[in-house]
């Protein structure tokens, strides 16, 4: 309902306020819109008029080029007409565009390799240089699985040229061709880009030389819709921020009236349209007294470059000045502390922006932007961001694509004589190198064969050799084991997996996760297996795949799912596990028609999972932190024996001289340790917290997070702990347990969960202590069954006819309704966490 209201509000504002979006005071002196290869003038709905490149008095074109037009039967909309024609070049060629002024200009290049009977445009490989700046190096569509139009947007400076002109050179690579569909050159307003910016981490301002070129990496409208060139006076596109939100539950969309947005001195409407400033993402209401999470956006970028990051703010959410104060972080470094937008503008609903410079020369390929509450907690917990722009800056070599200077790309080809000499020399050198490589490879193979038994298969990962303190009934694999032994993780052929799963028959699908689909399969030796096939479009990729193999190759335990083998063939990433007939624990708690678990069964399952986690923390050769403990990662076999699964996010724990592991926050929303989230410091106690959420989920038979419930019940840990502190945990248990659960056993279970969910890791028990307490709770349950009749015992929780309405005032009492919720999961790289405020007591 909330989303529907927001969408309606957006639509109403859109209809009535578009005229206010496009108003602008700036009229560019240079506006060149060029249809490459086209034959007629074409006008777009946003006011741009594209003219053919041939016969254009302002455009100089190399003579050895060819105009190419797509199949006329292909329907081309007004917005895509540019892609219906192209200019093709067989040799290095240059567009020369005469401009009216010097300074910085937008340069937008359009590419789309449509089908053509004369040129294989899709296979074209070429480079592009503009006024000495390398824009693209060996660009090609040939490796793209899905062909779609590409728009590249740059900012280039014309001040260094002897005349007012832009030279755009396209250079085919190694006998290929070059092509382009359209070109835009638009002059920029003064001071659109800064001469200096604040560095991250903080320090003296960094100077930005005027000759530096920019490439638009991202331009994002936080909390608002897609803005097209029709809504921007500089014909820019602003995309919605949802794809980049690390955790959508941590933020909510807010919007104001575009007509009320003010532009104070120093901020023009060309900086960003008012539609950007009238929408934002702000901190979602977590329904807790102490909100400490950040809103996070993550962007993939190319390492080795410096990036200009422009953040747009407009406080239209406050009623008075100086009440919205928050922190801003870039790549986990503080960018601004205790930032108050209204203190900069001295009024509400006023546009403001800040520029930062971040250097990614140390190998990082991600930019993480975060806003969150200030360290000083005398302000309300809230933070906003209205818009964001990330621009790549050209490097000292004058390049925006790798380290290739323009001179290297556009240099003249050697003469024919020199070419022959060069070819012969290269061939000779290549032959010599090939001989040396062959000899080295032969010696390497000979050495390996002398050291290794002939019947031992080589493997991508070493055969596991660890033997720990395990109560496992499965023997450890050895060099004499057969290929089908569960002790050996063998490499499986893709054809073998196809046969086992009947070519991935959809009727054999057991479930779908973030990594991909899981199929039931049967190997040649009649072994039942679960086959997890990676989805190439999944965000979980090679890192999780390799981590899963490396972790499970070291581990063997009765309460850990065994990895039988894996396949990495034909771009496939497939993991093969032992088959768990019972499926995930969650399926037995809610969302299915399975027989409800008894209290004894639930305790035994929790004990089994605790044993598996305890082994990870203390029994393996190196301490391992699972990092994603939840009910979908606890699987059951046909006897309901619990086994912990999914080690794709696992990390080695701290060594003896460490207290924690510093790492990026990953896990699942609703289960994430709040202390780990705040400090990015991972310990075994983070698993303990997640397991505490699992315990409450087992007791109440409802999801960890259920947005459909009343606010006080959304988060199970928060809700259950409120009842635990009142000593009335029995009020919220699964109705199927009423009349069969021993009260002392329940109290011990509740105390254990409460300690697991302590706010700070030092206050939480170890998994060994958790295991001991759960076994004691089981003993209390079994002892009462053996000595007292359930029907007459005062030690049992009796039937409570009115138990559902006995919830907190204001609640609708709909506890059982959670059983029908879908299996919705929020897997995140960094997520907002609900605070758990508790008073832990000793056992």
Q: Can you state the percent helix, strand and coil of the chain, rounding each to 5?
A: 25, 25, 45
User: Are 199 and 343 in the same domain?
Assistant: yes
Mean of pLDDT over the chain: 79
CATH of the domain at 684: 1.10.510.10
Q: Which residues pair with 207 in a beta bridge?
A: 196
Measure the CA–CA gap between 748 and 755, rounded to whole angstroms: 11
Residue 449 lies in a domain: no
Residue 818 has pLDDT above 80, yes or no: no
User: Are 604 and 481 in the same domain?
Assistant: no
Domain boundary among 535, 553, 579: 579
Segment 228-242 shows an average pLDDT of 93
Report the range of poorest mean pLDDT among 7-16, 228-237, 423-432, 518-527. 7-16
Measure the CA–CA gap between 587 and 602, rounded to whole angstroms: 13
Domain boundary among 170, 186, 202: 186
Containing domain of residue 828, as a range?
Answer: 583-650+660-778+814-832
In the prediction, which pLDDT does 538 show? 53
Measure the CA–CA gap between 691 and 761, rounded to whole angstroms: 13
Report the range of poorest mean pLDDT among 353-362, 417-426, 572-581. 417-426
Report the range of poorest mean pLDDT among 76-85, 133-142, 194-203, 376-385. 76-85
Residue 712 has pLDDT above 50, yes or no: yes
User: Are 524 and 566 in the same domain?
Assistant: yes
Residue 376 has pLDDT above 90, yes or no: no
In the prediction, which pLDDT does 234 show? 92
Q: Which member of 241, 340, 355, 628 is catalytic?
A: 628
User: Are 288 and 384 in the same domain?
Assistant: yes
pLDDT digits (tens, 9 = 90+) for 123-151: 999 999 999 999 999 999 877 767 889 99
Residue 804 lies in a domain: no
pTM of the model: 0.52
User: Are 694 and 672 in the same domain?
Assistant: yes
Q: Look at 123 and 813; give whichever has higher pLDDT.
A: 123
pLDDT digits (tens, 9 = 90+) for 615-640: 999 877 678 899 899 999 999 999 99
pLDDT digits (tens, 9 = 90+) for 60-112: 877 777 788 765 444 455 557 788 889 999 999 999 998 988 889 999 999 99
How far out from the chain centre does Cα 432 lie?
46
In the prediction, which pLDDT does 666 show? 80
pLDDT digits (tens, 9 = 90+) for 402-454: 877 766 665 544 444 444 444 555 566 666 677 667 666 666 555 544 443 33
Confidence of residue 789 (pLDDT cuts 50, 70, 90): very low
**How many structural domains does the chain have?**
4
Confidence of residue 843 (pLDDT cuts 50, 70, 90): very low
Annotation says 673 is catalytic: no
Confidence of residue 609 (pLDDT cuts 50, 70, 90): very high
Highest mean pLDDT among 25-34, 140-149, 761-770, 817-826: 761-770
Residue ranges of alpha helices (H) inside 664-766 are 674-679, 684-700, 716-726, 743-756
Domain boundary among 579, 594, 611: 579
- The DSSP-derived string for 702-719 is S-SB-TTS-GGGSBHHHH
In the prediction, which pLDDT does 700 show? 95
Measure the CA–CA gap between 640 and 585, rounded to whole angstroms: 9
Confidence of residue 668 (pLDDT cuts 50, 70, 90): confident
Residue 159 lies in a domain: yes
pLDDT digits (tens, 9 = 90+) for 270-326: 999 999 999 999 998 754 455 677 899 999 998 889 999 999 999 999 999 989 999
User: Are 591 and 730 in the same domain?
Assistant: yes
CATH of the domain at 198: 2.60.120.430
User: Are 53 and 168 in the same domain?
Assistant: yes
Residue 411 lies in a domain: no
- The DSSP-derived string for 220-282 is EETTS--B-GGG-TT---BEESGGGBS-GGGEEEEE--GGG-B--TT--TTTS-HHHHTEEEE
CATH of the domain at 554: 3.30.200.20
User: Are 211 and 282 in the same domain?
Assistant: yes
Phi-psi region for residue 440, left (φ > 0), alpha (ψ -120 to 50) or beta? alpha
CB 210 within 8 A of CB 157: yes
In the prediction, which pLDDT does 412 show? 43
Confidence of residue 493 (pLDDT cuts 50, 70, 90): confident
In the prediction, which pLDDT does 810 show? 34
Residue 329 lies in a domain: yes
532 is in an annotated binding site: yes
In the prediction, which pLDDT does 83 show? 85
User: Are 176 and 236 in the same domain?
Assistant: no
- 812: CB partners within 8 A, 6+ apart: 710
**Tokens found for residue 808:** 């907190």
Residue 584 has pLDDT above 80, yes or no: yes
Confidence of residue 368 (pLDDT cuts 50, 70, 90): very high
Residue 351 has pLDDT above 50, yes or no: yes
CB 580 within 8 A of CB 637: yes
User: Are 172 and 43 in the same domain?
Assistant: yes
User: Are 639 and 695 in the same domain?
Assistant: yes
Measure the CA–CA gap between 181 and 134, rounded to whole angstroms: 19
User: Are 359 and 214 in the same domain?
Assistant: yes
Q: Look at 686 and 424; give whichever has higher pLDDT.
A: 686
């Amino acid at each position: 309902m909330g989303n529907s209201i927001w969408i309606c509000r957006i639509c109403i504002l859109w209809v009535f306020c578009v005229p206010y979006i496009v108003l602008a005071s700036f009229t560019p002196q240079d506006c060149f819109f060029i249809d490459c290869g086209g034959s007629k003038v074409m006008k777009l709905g946003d006011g741009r008029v594209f003219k053919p490149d041939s016969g254009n008095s302002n455009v100089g074109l190399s003579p050895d080029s060819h105009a190419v037009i797509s199949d006329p039967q292909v329907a081309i909309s007004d917005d895509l007409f540019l892609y219906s024609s192209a200019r093709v070049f067989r040799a290095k060629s240059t567009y020369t565009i005469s401009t009216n002024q010097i300074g910085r200009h937008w340069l937008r290049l359009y590419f789309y390799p449509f089908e053509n009977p004369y040129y294989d445009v899709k296979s074209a490989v070429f480079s592009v240089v503009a006024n000495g700046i390398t824009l693209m190096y060996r660009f090609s569509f040939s490796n793209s699985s899905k062909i779609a139009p590409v728009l590249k947007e740059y900012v280039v400076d014309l001040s260094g040229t002897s005349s007012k002109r832009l030279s755009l050179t396209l250079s085919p690579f190694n006998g290929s061709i070059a092509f382009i569909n359209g070109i835009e050159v638009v002059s920029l307003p003064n001071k659109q880009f800064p001469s200096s910016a604040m560095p991250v981490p903080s320090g003296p301002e960094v100077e930005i030389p005027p000759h530096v070129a920019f490439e638009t990496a991202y331009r994002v409208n936080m909390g608002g819709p897609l803005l097209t060139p029709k809504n921007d006076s500089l014909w820019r596109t602003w995309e919605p921020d949802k794809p980049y939100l690390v955790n959508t539950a941590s933020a909510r969309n807010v919007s104001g009236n575009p007509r009320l947005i003010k532009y104070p001195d120093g901020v023009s409407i060309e900086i960003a349209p008012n539609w950007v400033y009238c929408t934002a993402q702000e901190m979602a209401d977590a329904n807790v007294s102490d909100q400490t999470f950040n809103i996070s956006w993550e962007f993939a970028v190319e390492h080795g470059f410096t990036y200009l990051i422009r953040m747009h703010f407009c406080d239209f959410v406050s009623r008075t000045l100086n009440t919205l104060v928050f922190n801003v972080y870039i790549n986990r470094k503080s960018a601004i502390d205790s930032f108050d937008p209204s203190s900069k503008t001295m009024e509400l609903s006023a546009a403001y922006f800040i520029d930062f410079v971040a250097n990614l020369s140390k190998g990082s390929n991600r930019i993480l932007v975060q806003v969150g509450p200030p360290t000083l907690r005398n302000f309300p917990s809230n933070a906003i961001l209205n818009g964001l722009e990330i621009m790549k800056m050209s490097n000292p070599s004058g390049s925006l694509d790798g380290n290739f200077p323009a001179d290297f790309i556009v240099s003249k080809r050697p003469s024919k004589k020199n070419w022959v000499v060069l070819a012969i020399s290269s061939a000779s050198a290549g032959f010599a190198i090939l001989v040396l490589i062959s000899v080295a490879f032969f010696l390497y193979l000979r050495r390996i064969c002398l050291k290794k038994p002939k019947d031992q298969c080589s493997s991508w990962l070493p055969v596991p050799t660890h033997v720990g303190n395990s109560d496992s009934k499965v023997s450890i694999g050895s060099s004499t084991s057969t290929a089908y032994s569960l002790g050996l993780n063998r490499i499986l052929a893709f054809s073998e997996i196809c046969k086992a799963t009947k070519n991935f028959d959809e009727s054999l699908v057991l479930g779908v996760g973030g990594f991909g689909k899981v199929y039931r399969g049967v190997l040649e030796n009649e072994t039942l297996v679960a086959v997890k096939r990676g989805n190439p479009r999944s965000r979980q990729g090679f890192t999780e795949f390799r981590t899963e193999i490396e972790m499970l190759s070291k581990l063997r335990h009765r309460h850990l799912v065994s990895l039988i083998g894996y396949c990495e063939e034909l771009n496939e990433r497939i993991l093969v596990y032992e088959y768990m007939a019972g499926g995930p624990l969650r399926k037995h708690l809610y969302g299915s028609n399975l027989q409800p678990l008894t209290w004894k069964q639930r305790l035994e399952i929790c004990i089994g999972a605790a044993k598996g986690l305890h082994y990870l923390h203390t029994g393996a050769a190196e301490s391992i932190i699972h990092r994603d403990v939840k009910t979908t990662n606890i699987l059951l076999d046909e006897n309901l024996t619990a086994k912990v699964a999914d080690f794709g996010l696992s990390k080695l724990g701290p060594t003896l001289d460490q207290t924690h592991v510093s790492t990026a926050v990953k896990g699942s929303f609703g289960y994430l340790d709040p202390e780990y989230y705040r400090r990015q410091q991972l310990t075994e106690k983070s698993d303990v917290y997640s397991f505490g959420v699992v315990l409450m989920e087992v007791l109440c038979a409802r999801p960890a997070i259920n947005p459909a419930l009343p606010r006080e019940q959304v988060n199970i840990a928060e809700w259950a702990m409120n009842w635990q502190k009142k000593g009335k945990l029995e009020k919220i248990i699964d109705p199927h347990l009423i009349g069969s659960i021993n009260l002392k056993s329940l109290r011990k279970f509740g105390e254990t969960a409460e300690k697991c969910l302590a706010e700070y890791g030092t206050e939480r028990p170890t998994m060994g202590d958790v295991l001991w307490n759960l076994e004691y709770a089981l003993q209390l349950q079994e002892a009462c069954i053996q000595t007292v009749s359930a029907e007459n015992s005062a030690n049992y929780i009796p039937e409570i006819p009115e138990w559902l309405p006995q919830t907190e005032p204001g609640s609708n009492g709909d506890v059982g309704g959670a059983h029908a919720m879908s299996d919705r999961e929020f897997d995140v790289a960094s997520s907002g966490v609900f605070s758990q405020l508790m008073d832990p007591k000793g056992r």
